[in-house]
Amino acid sequence: MYNFTRDKNNRLNQGDIFKNITHIENWEESGNELKISRIHYPYIVILSQDCDLREDDSVRSTEKNDKALVSVLVAPVYNFDQFLDGEHLQELGINACKISKNPNKTDYKNIIQNNNPRYHFLELENLPKLIIDFKHYFSLSVQYLQKVKDKQFEYPISFLHRELLCQRFANYLSRIGLPA
């Protein structure tokens, strides 16, 4: 179980989990019409480096704000049971593989023990079991997250756990693809 202590600041932090986030996936302009494609995520976690988020907060209201961020790197956080059933991406039209719920099976063990480099398992107080798939990440504007922070902030991941999460994400992204 993760330890939750909110930093004594009012800024965005690495490892902050937000609920009910809308991501604009795509937009099209056709004549006088604007078509917007949105994806709703029950939960997301901030992956951007905390030092960058701290700098952003300190310079945002100053005249010299060249260290301000335009966007924040985030990842969707999926319901673990839906993930195991292969249903977590159905709303996007993606059929995922099912994974056995048998705790004695290797795939299941590797995921919940965070031994599979693609996934990060989370067990949080008052929430169902959750999982992050490092293949799925995107950016959100700092302004949007600041605007929804008071109502949609859910949990902070403790310092040590967020460092582990972000190191695992960086390691997954920096892997070297080998030919099949």
- Is there a domain that residue 11 lies in? no
Into how many domains does the chain fold? 1
Domain range holding 62? Answer: 16-173
pLDDT bracket for residue 4 (50, 70, 90): very low
Region of poorest pLDDT, from 39-43, 136-140, 159-163: 159-163
Burial class (CB in 10 A: 0-12, 13-18, 19+), 146: middle
Note the pTM of the prediction, 2 decimals: 0.89
Encode pLDDT of 49-87 as tens digits.
999 999 999 888 787 788 889 999 999 999 999 999 999
DSSP-H helix ranges across 26-158: 50-59, 80-84, 106-112, 142-152
- Is there a domain that residue 1 lies in? no
Which residues, at least 6 apart from 178, have a Cβ–Cβ distance to it below 8 Å? none
- Is there a domain that residue 28 lies in? yes
